[in-house]
Every structure is written in structure tokens, then in C-alpha cells.
Amino acid sequence: MQLSQGQKIAVLTGGTDGMGRLVAPLLAQAGFHVVTQGRSAARGKEVVDGIVAAGGQASFMACDLADLADVRRFANDLTRRVERIDVLINNAGIGTGPDGAPRETSADGLERRFAVNYLAPYLLTRLLLDKVQATPQARIVNVASEGQEPLDFDNMQLERDYSGYYAYCRSKVAVIMLTFDLAEELKASGVTANAMHPGAFMNTTMVREMNHEVVDSVDEGARHVFELATHPRFHGVTGRYINCGVEGVVKPQCHDIHARNRLRDYTRQLVGI
């Protein structure tokens, strides 16, 4: 990873496919060295080569977000390579899957959507937080969804009554709750943390796997992510849920301190921090 003096760093998960593949070059055009994460080295090389050919700077780092040990390895490798992180975008995720699809588990035996969509960004953000806080006014952007369902603390892993829809929507509520916690924790540091919904049923692999018709533009979704991560109008804005560029409404549970504390305690039992 070759960095220029004073180079701004943006870390983007899920940057080799779907919306992330469009966000990465936008960040590079804005002057960031983009560290893009994905599972496929071939797709990662395509993204990096395209950015470099256009005059930007980027690196690819492989990581399987369904494996907490690999998330730790990725974070440790990254912290050794960079002195700071200006923007952290937790974009990677998996959707509901087709109707009737069976429950899947991660490498750690956890419900897969909860693991990838929530636990991985939780752990990655925690492990990278020192590097984020090394940059005044750094931004954390967590890609959530308008699709939200309250967490059931008696069935967190959906071992009963499994539904891909509920698995996805509950994982996104957990992401929003994480974001609100981070915003409060980091308020004095100047680092901002916001969750966002980029658009509904965009033309991405996730939506195609759901067998759902396309509704919103993936290009517009990428622009919404990019703007929340970089635009001056979001300077100092923190602890918000931004729906397609404007402040949106979340499920009441996201604001429930008792529920957020329960989620945080549960998460710490799973990941150790």
C-alpha cells in the first residue's frame, strides 16, 4: 500500500461488488486512497486497476466478514499499514435471500445475516477506532436499511421461526443501534457516526438474489453514501439515520437505551470487546 504524504484514507467494506463498486471510485476521485474490502481478489484487482487507471489511488484487502477471526486479521493488517482513517464505510452486507431459503450460519456458528451485517461492522469498527480517532472530524458511515424490524432478545439467532426477511431487517436495526451508541461515545472527539439507507431494491447482487424487481438506482445509492461520507453539509452531523440524503425515521427500539444496552452486552459476549 503506497501512501502519499498526508494522504486521506477511506476504508470501504463491500467495495468490489454492487453499490460499493461505485462508491470506491467516487472516493478516489475526491482524493482518498481507498482501501476496499471484499472476498474476491479478482474483483478487487478490477476495482483497484480501474481507480489507478483513472489517476486515483486504491488498495484491495481480502476478508471474509462471515468469519470473526478473519475480521480481526483484516483489522490488524490494516492498522499496521495506516496511521489514520479519515472515513470508514461499513457497506458490505447480505440481503434477505429468496423466499423460503433456509437459515444459514457463519464460520462462528452464528446466524449469517446477523454475523455479516452487524457483528462484522461492530468488531471492525471497534478494532479500527484508534485509527479513526487519529483523524480530527473523521466520519463513520454504516449502511443500514429502511427495512427494519425490532430485535427479539429471546431469539437473537433466529433458531426458531427463521425468516430471511426478519434476519435481514433485525440485523439492520442492530446496525442503527450501534451507530447511535458510537455517536454518543465519540461526540467529544469530533468523529461522527451516522447510519443511512441508500435506496430500495437497487440493481445489485443482493437484490438479484432476493428475486425482487429493481426499484431505485444503484448510482443514486452510491452518491448518497459518498455524500454522507464526504459532503460539507454533513460536517458535524452525528447520531442520525439518513434516508436517501435526508433525515429519516427509525424503529422506536433504536432509541431505547435499555434495548441498546442489552444488544451491547450480548455483542460483547460474542466478540469479546
* Residues with a known catalytic role: 168
* Whole-number Å distance between alpha carbons of 67 and 29: 32
* Whole-number Å distance between alpha carbons of 252 and 254: 5
- SS3 of residue 59 by DSSP: strand
* Whole-number Å distance between alpha carbons of 73 and 65: 11
* Whole-number Å distance between alpha carbons of 226 and 31: 12
- What is the CA angle 15-8-24, rounded to 5? 20
The string over 20-46, giving b where at least 16 C-beta atoms fall within 10 Å of a residue's C-beta and e elsewhere, is bbbbbbbbbebebbbbbbbbeeebbee
Per DSSP bridges, beta strands 8-12 and 87-90 are: parallel
Residue 241: Cβ-neighbour burial (10 angstroms; 0-12, 13-18, 19+): buried
For the four alpha carbons of 166, 167, 168 and 171, in that order, the dihedral sign comes to positive
Q: How far is CA 119 from the centre of its chain?
A: 10
Instruction: Classify 224 in phi/psi space as left (phi over 0), alpha (psi -120 to 50) or beta.
Output: alpha
